Amino acid sequence: MFDQHPYQQHKSLTIFSVFILLLLGAALALAAELPYGGWIQIPLLSILWWRFDSHPSPSVKKQFALGLTFGIGYFVVGLWWLYISLHDVGGMNALLACMGVFLLSAYVAIYFSIATLAIPLFKKNRFTGLFLAASWVIAEFLRGYIFTGFPWMGFAETQFTGPFALIAPFFGGLTCTFLAVWASWELYQARKHRASSALLIVAAISLTQFAGLFTFTKPIGEPISVRLIQGNFEQSLKFNPQAIGQQIDFYAGEITKKAANLIIIPETAFPWPIPNLPIGLLNYLQDFSNSSDSNVLVGLIGEVPGELGIQYSNRATGLSPNTPAYQYDKAHLVPFGEFIPPGFQWFVKAFHVPMSDFARGKLDQPPFAIVRKGQADIHAAITICYEDVFGGELASRIQHSAQPVNLLINMTNLAWFGESQASTQQLRLSQLRSLETGLPALRATNTGITAVLGPDGKVLQALPEFTQGTLSTQVQAYSGKTPYVIWGNLPILGLSCLLLLWGLIRHRRF
Indicate if the pLDDT at residue 96 is higher than 50. Answer: yes
Burial class of 369 by CB neighbour count within 10 A (0 to 12, 13 to 18, 19+)? middle
Q: What is the chain's alpha carbon radius of gyration, rounded to the nearest angstrom?
A: 24
Distance, in Å, from the CA atom of 433 to the CA atom of 458, rounded to the nearest integer, reads 11
Distance, in Å, from the CA atom of 162 to the CA atom of 84, rounded to the nearest integer, reads 29
Percentage of the chain beyond pLDDT 90 is: 69
Q: How far is CA 112 from the centre of its chain?
A: 17
Distance, in Å, from the CA atom of 108 to the CA atom of 104, rounded to the nearest integer, reads 6
Is there a contact between 232 and 413 (Cβ–Cβ < 8 Å)? Answer: no
Burial class of 339 by CB neighbour count within 10 A (0 to 12, 13 to 18, 19+)? middle
Please pick, among 140, 157, 330, 393, the residue that the annotation labels catalytic: 330
The number of helices, as runs of H, and strands, as runs of E, in the chain is: 18, 15
- How many CB atoms are closer than 10 A to CB 265? 29
In the residue annotation, 267 being an active-site residue is answered as: yes
Indicate if the pLDDT at residue 119 is higher than 80. Answer: yes
Is there a contact between 25 and 70 (Cβ–Cβ < 8 Å)? Answer: yes
Sign of dihedral through CA atoms 182, 184, 186, 188? negative
Region of poorest pLDDT, from 69-78, 260-269, 329-338: 329-338
Q: What is the DSSP string of 361-416?
A: PPTTPPPEEEEETTEEEEEEEEEEGGGGG-HHHHHHHHHH-SS---EEEEEE--GG
Indicate if the pLDDT at residue 97 is higher than 60. Answer: yes
Indicate if the pLDDT at residue 31 is higher than 90. Answer: yes
Indicate if the pLDDT at residue 8 is higher than 90. Answer: no
Indicate if the pLDDT at residue 395 is higher than 80. Answer: yes
Q: Which of 180, 242, 213, 220 lies closest to 45 in space, CA to CA?
A: 180
Can you tell me whether residue 90 is helix, strand or coil?
Answer: coil
pLDDT of residue 11: 46
Q: Which residues pair with 459 in a beta bridge?
A: 453
Does an H or E element contain 453, and which? strand 451-453
Burial class of 147 by CB neighbour count within 10 A (0 to 12, 13 to 18, 19+)? exposed
Q: Which of 167, 214, 210, 127 lies closest to 38 in space, CA to CA?
A: 167
In the residue annotation, 330 being an active-site residue is answered as: yes
Is there a contact between 163 and 176 (Cβ–Cβ < 8 Å)? Answer: no
* Domains of the chain: residue spans and CATH: 13-214+489-509 (no CATH), 218-481 (3.60.110.10)
Distance, in Å, from the CA atom of 40 to the CA atom of 31, rounded to the nearest integer, reads 6
pLDDT of residue 353: 54
Distance, in Å, from the CA atom of 64 to the CA atom of 72, rounded to the nearest integer, reads 12
Q: Which of 250, 297, 303, 295 lies closest to 272 in space, CA to CA?
A: 303
Please pick, among 385, 387, 393, 481, the residue that the annotation labels catalytic: 385
Q: What's the one-letter identity of residue 356?
A: S
Can you tell me whether residue 47 is helix, strand or coil?
Answer: helix
Residue 485 CA: distances (Å) to CA of 201, 368, 493: 27, 18, 15
Percentage of the chain beyond pLDDT 70 is: 91
Is there a contact between 201 and 183 (Cβ–Cβ < 8 Å)? Answer: yes
In the residue annotation, 98 being an active-site residue is answered as: no
Q: Pick the more confident residue, 277 or 357.
A: 277
Q: Pick the more confident residue, 333 or 489.
A: 489
Please pick, among 186, 254, 267, 436, the residue that the annotation labels catalytic: 267
β 218-219/224-230 pair status: unpaired
Q: How far is CA 497 from the centre of its chain?
A: 24
Does an H or E element contain 273, and which? strand 270-273
Burial class of 142 by CB neighbour count within 10 A (0 to 12, 13 to 18, 19+)? middle
Distance, in Å, from the CA atom of 262 to the CA atom of 336, rounded to the nearest integer, reads 33
Indicate if the pLDDT at residue 354 is higher than 80. Answer: no
Is there a contact between 141 and 174 (Cβ–Cβ < 8 Å)? Answer: yes
Which pLDDT tens digit goes with each residue over 418-468? 889 999 999 999 999 999 999 999 999 999 899 999 999 999 999 999 999
